[in-house]
Amino acid sequence: MVLIDPGEKACVEIYNSSKGAGDESFPVASVLIDPALRPHIRAFYELARAADDIADDPHLDSDQKLARLDAISDVLSGDHQGVPDSNTAAGIDSLPARALAASLTETGVSPTHAKNLLVAFRQDAVKQRYADWAELMDYCCLSAAPCGRYLLVLHGETGAETEKAADALSVALQVINHIQDCRADYQNLDRVYIPMDWFEAEDTGVDELASSVASPAMRRVLNRMLAGVDQLLADAESLPAQIGNIRLALEAAVVLAIARELNRWLKTKDPLAGPVRHTKGQIAWRAIIGLVQGVHIRLWCRH
């Protein structure tokens, strides 16, 4: 799951400027979440945001990115020696990592989830292409699944099936984001998250991502991505019923509803032609639908 309350400033993509929770396509620490837990979720989000900004900075080379990500990891491990709170000239800001480290100590949540995210950002610093769907899924298991697992642990949720469904939802949201940003990622970072073998199967190439309109071949490639999201969302369908915490269960239902609608939009709208995103009003409407569906599921599970 994604850690956005569109109307609330909350605690991972605009290059050279930090993206906030209000810019995301899905909720981060929305009003459905227990107020006592929201600061901890925001701390996790801010760490992810800071690391993502490093990995996406076009002015840094791979070694510089890796060094800064290593500094963040050191702070999470409790090794603060030689890592200043903030050094603008050196491009170091360890405050988000220090804030999350304090949060993890307070909540007793392992730093494993945040460290897995950092592994994904290290990969972003050196890897530009993905050979096939399986390789992309391996990446998403590091770049997205830790967010959902962190939320589960923070809420005291356990169980292999619950984790599996949460992983599926988290990865689905990540792939949707990859589709939304496929043109910008290619043009700004020369990074492509669409499997290379799918381009080859359609006898086309990544240079099509620079176009302002998707060709029929490119459309078929994107549709394969969307079909993968359909399967992931189907695998996540049971999540609201599996989560014991009512607030988190309703949050999951809302995110599922938003994801289904956005995936449906992407099947008919061209992400190369312009942004394919919900307005705040559309997000609110889909959230209401998801909330109603979540309440229905919870009531049905009681009988």
Cα 115 to Cα 63, 77, 83, 87, 197: the distances in Å are 18, 9, 17, 22, 30
Question: Which CATH number applies to 21-302?
Answer: 1.10.600.10
Written as six digits, the tokens of 298 are 């919870």
The ranges assigned to domains in the chain are 21-302
pLDDT band at residue 274 under the 50/70/90 scheme? confident
Q: What is the model's pLDDT at position 9? A: 32
Q: What is the model's pLDDT at position 14? A: 24
Q: Which of 5-9, 190-194, 256-260, 286-290 has the lowest mean pLDDT?
A: 5-9
